[in-house]
């Protein structure tokens, strides 16, 4: 969404009158050490997967096999599902997550994703700036007309009303990076850091009261059309 606004804010605003950003990821300078280590190793993984012709992860067969194994007594004994959640989303623990919601989402998550998406996150961590995908200098020259990828400048997003909800213990979209994002953006209408929240708490957390506060912001911009809390919860769960 930040990328779309940077590319053509006027076009996005002709269709959307408020951007509610939960656990917003842009610059990733404040991520934890384990995420930095993972990003450092990604170029090796990129080369290996490319050599194998693998350009996406978590297809139906892979997801089905993980789900089936996750329901076995052994997997539950060793905490297999918690490990998978950590590997997928950098969830340090499920201390803030409802076990019931984790069980439900395990049947739908993760969805198939491009390996390029994962490698892009690693590049952003390594470059210490929010930027477009780095294809290497030769392809960059052909695609961007420059050796390095362009930086996505949040400071150029000046008008879109943005409400930001940030997890106080989010190790991916950290409060430090979120504060930096707020300072760059031109029209942040709501900013809230919530304690006892990590990256997955917005879907899996015990406390979903943030939905009520988010809806209050939505109502200011859509007084006659704002969805009810039950409708939002139905969509999420």
Band of residue 91 on the pLDDT scale cut at 50, 70, 90: very low
Q: What is the pLDDT of residue 147?
A: 97
Taking residues 75-104, report their average pLDDT: 66
Residue 69 has pLDDT above 90, yes or no: no
Gyration radius from the chain CA atoms: 19
What is the token pair recorded at 98?
């409802």
Q: What is the pLDDT of residue 237?
A: 59
% of the chain with per-residue pLDDT over 70: 82
% of the chain with per-residue pLDDT over 90: 48
Taking residues 123-133, report their average pLDDT: 94
Band of residue 80 on the pLDDT scale cut at 50, 70, 90: low
pLDDT tens profile 136-194: 999 999 999 999 999 999 999 999 999 999 999 998 899 999 999 999 999 999 999 99
What is the token pair recorded at 125?
């961590």
Query: What does the alpha-carbon distance between residue 121 and residue 190 come to, in Å, rounded to a whole number?
Result: 26
**171-210: b (≥16 Cβ within 10 Å) or e:** bbbbbebbebbeebbeebebbeebeebbbbbbbbbeebeb
Query: What does the alpha-carbon distance between residue 225 and residue 221 come to, in Å, rounded to a whole number?
Result: 9
Between 18 and 55, the higher pLDDT residue: 18
pLDDT tens profile 198-222: 888 888 888 889 999 999 999 999 8
**Structure-token match 């905490």, residue found:** 79
Burial of 213 from C-beta contacts in 10 A (0-12 / 13-18 / 19+)? middle
Taking residues 7-27, report their average pLDDT: 95
Strand duo 188-194 + 113-114: pairing: unpaired
pTM: 0.78
Q: What is the pLDDT of residue 90?
A: 46
Between 66 and 118, the higher pLDDT residue: 118
**What distances in angstroms separate CA 194 from CA 22, 37, 80, 188, 213, one per listed residue?**
11, 27, 28, 17, 12
Between 62 and 202, the higher pLDDT residue: 202
Residue 93 has pLDDT above 50, yes or no: no
Residue 76 has pLDDT above 60, yes or no: yes
Q: Which CATH superfamily is domain 1-26+154-237 in?
A: Alpha/Beta hydrolase fold, catalytic domain (3.40.50.1820)
CB 134 within 8 A of CB 148: yes
Residue 60 has pLDDT above 50, yes or no: yes
Q: What is the pLDDT of residue 14?
A: 95
Domain ranges (residues) in the chain: 1-26+154-237
């Amino acid at each position: 969404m930040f990328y779309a606004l940077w590319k053509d804010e006027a076009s996005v605003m002709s269709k959307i009158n408020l951007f509610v950003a939960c656990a917003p990821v842009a610059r990733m300078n404040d991520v934890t050490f384990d995420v930095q280590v993972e990003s450092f190793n990604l170029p090796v993984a990129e080369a290996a997967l490319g050599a194998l012709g693998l350009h996406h992860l978590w297809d139906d067969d892979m997801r089905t096999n993980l789900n089936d194994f996750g329901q076995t007594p052994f997997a539950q004994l060793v905490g297999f599902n918690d490990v998978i959640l950590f590997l997928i989303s950098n969830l340090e623990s499920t201390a803030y997550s409802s076990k019931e919601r984790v069980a439900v989402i395990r049947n739908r998550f993760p969805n198939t994703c491009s390996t390029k998406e994962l490698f892009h996150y690693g590049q952003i961590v390594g470059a210490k700036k929010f930027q477009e995908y780095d294809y290497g200098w030769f392809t960059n020259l052909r695609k961007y007309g420059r050796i390095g990828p362009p930086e996505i400048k949040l400071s150029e997003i000046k008008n879109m009303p943005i409400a930001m909800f940030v997890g106080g213990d989010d190790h991916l979209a950290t409060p430090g990076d979120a504060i930096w994002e707020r300072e760059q953006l031109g029209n942040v209408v709501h900013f809230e850091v919530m304690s006892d929240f990590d990256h997955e708490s917005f879907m899996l957390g015990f406390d979903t009261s943030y939905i009520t506060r988010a809806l209050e912001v939505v109502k200011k911009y859509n007084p006659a059309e704002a969805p009810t809390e039950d409708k939002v919860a139905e969509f999420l769960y």
